[in-house]
Amino acid sequence: MSPSTGVRETQRRRTRRALLDAALSLLEERSLGSLGLREVTRAAGVAPTAFYRHFRDMGELGTALVEEALASLHTTVRDVLAATGDSERRGEAAVRLVAELVRTRPAHVRFLVRERHGGVAAVREAIADQLDVFAEETGAALAADPVSAGWAGQDVTMLSRLLVDHMFMTASAFLAATLRGEDWTAATRTALGQLRLIHLGRVHWPG
Amino acid sequence: MSPSTGVRETQRRRTRRALLDAALSLLEERSLGSLGLREVTRAAGVAPTAFYRHFRDMGELGTALVEEALASLHTTVRDVLAATGDSERRGEAAVRLVAELVRTRPAHVRFLVRERHGGVAAVREAIADQLDVFAEETGAALAADPVSAGWAGQDVTMLSRLLVDHMFMTASAFLAATLRGEDWTAATRTALGQLRLIHLGRVHWPG
DNA sequence: CCTTTCGGGTAACAGTTGTTCACTGACTAC
DNA sequence: GTAGTCAGTGAACAACTGTTACCCGAAAGG
């Protein structure tokens, strides 16, 4: 029944959280592959051996982080797709939600951006699989849009992949702007312009 | 005068090449941050201390790889920009040249894609700086195009950033396809479609 | 020819790594 | 109340890390 209560379970969850948070903060300026088990446990304030009670190795901790990070992303994507109004407004909503995600969970977003093409195969594949799901959902939403009437199926997926990738581009741009001490107005304007351009191309696509 | 001949200099260059190649091959499935100095020298067949004759640390070796990789990329970008014909043909040329680059120097391309957002700050910045240069060049070429008549400067850079990022997306897609054992027809079609979509948006941009 | 330069190798260093084993003690289930 | 479970600890291990100081031998410069 996996009780959500119980003193023991609570403590277990607490240290697991400590491990994940420690890793996440170390990953701000490092990559997962260069992270040491002892390093993480030290930052989390537990003994090295406690690590094994929760994860087999660092790759498994990594995929746990992927699940966490993409859970937030998933709600964001769903919100965007569910947004009503013309595609112009929907683009604005998308950029706004990405911005909010980066603002509230910068470490998670940075982790995703960095490890998407990173050096740990298991993590790479976990992210890629989830992004495929996102692209598929986006494609379904696009196909339901009257603008896409008469589009070939492969053209829809072509566009949805572009949009998903653009989401990552935008998130990365926000992170970079923060790192340079800039505010986000320029990055926001760029992202909005690009979405608008893509939207224009979509409207005039020979369907 | 830095003689290009001389027995000593050739040997020096040979081991330097061995170090870079060893690192490059180790980086096929790892990231730079997780790479050890001894590991590289072992793979290169030289003593650990020989490393210091060429690089201060692994970050410096990384930036050397960035220079190498981006030298090839630079010629590719210039070729694309210099290509004549309408934007449709130019897009095809771009995809073809990226494909050729990935085919002839897969390790270098993978290195760029991986370390662009990777865990070594010096390398990240070196890549970002070069990409800024590329974006600027692309912007200049776009501005010279009659299609961009009346465009605001920031809109031009907005588009050029999108194109540069799309180049990376495409390269990454080719690498992923190879990894899965697929051929490149699907990835090529996707990339071409996306460029065509962007081009359509460009034509109908309110200038 | 003799001296200097210098790329590479050897040996050693203190420190860190991942992993194991046995152990504790508080919680849980009956 | 009592037996069992189990998250976390402590000590120990061989292996490996980056870095240093010193040495070697051949090429380079005069």
Least confident of A13-27, B75-89, B116-130: B75-89
CB within 8 Å: A203 and B204: yes
Considering only CA atoms, which of A27, A16, A174, A171 is closest in space to residue A111?
A27
Model pLDDT, residue A120: 98
Q: For chain A, what is the mean pLDDT?
A: 94
CB within 8 Å: A33 and B119: yes
Helices of type H across B49-120 = 58-82, 87-104, 106-115
Please enumerate residues of B whose Cβ is less than 8 A from a Cβ of A.
Answer: 27, 29-31, 33-34, 113-114, 116-121, 128, 154-155, 157-159, 161-162, 165, 169, 172, 176, 189-190, 193-194, 196-205
- Closest residue to D9 (CA to C1') is A47
Helix (H) or strand (E) holding B47: none
| Whether the predicted pLDDT of A93 surpasses 90 | yes
CB within 8 Å: A117 and B119: no
CB within 8 Å: A169 and B172: no
Looking at per-residue confidence, does B57 or B207 come out higher?
A: B57
Question: Do B162 and A194 meet the contact criterion of CB atoms below 8 Å apart?
Answer: yes
Q: For chain B, what is the mean pLDDT?
A: 94
Residue corresponding to tokens 């997306």: B169
Q: How far is the CA of A12 from the C1' of D8 (A)?
A: 10
In chain B, pLDDT over 70 holds for what percent of residues?
98
With a 7 Å cutoff on the CB, does A47 touch strand D? yes
Compare CB distances from B31 to A31, A159, A194 and report the shortest one's residue: A31
Instruction: Go through the domains of chain B in sequence order and give each one's CATH number.
Output: 1-54 (1.10.10.60), 58-203 (1.10.357.10)
Q: What tokens does B49 get? A: 């201390």
Given pLDDT bands bounded at 50, 70 and 90, which one contains residue B2? very low
- What number is the average pLDDT over the span A142-168? 95
Phi-psi region of A131 (alpha: psi -120 to 50; beta: other; left: phi over 0): alpha
- What number is the average pLDDT over the span B133-148? 93
- What does the pLDDT look like over A110-129, one tens digit per residue? 999 999 999 999 999 999 99
Question: Do B124 and A31 meet the contact criterion of CB atoms below 8 Å apart?
Answer: no
Cα–Cα distance measured from residue B19 to residue B26, given in angstroms and rounded to the nearest whole number: 11
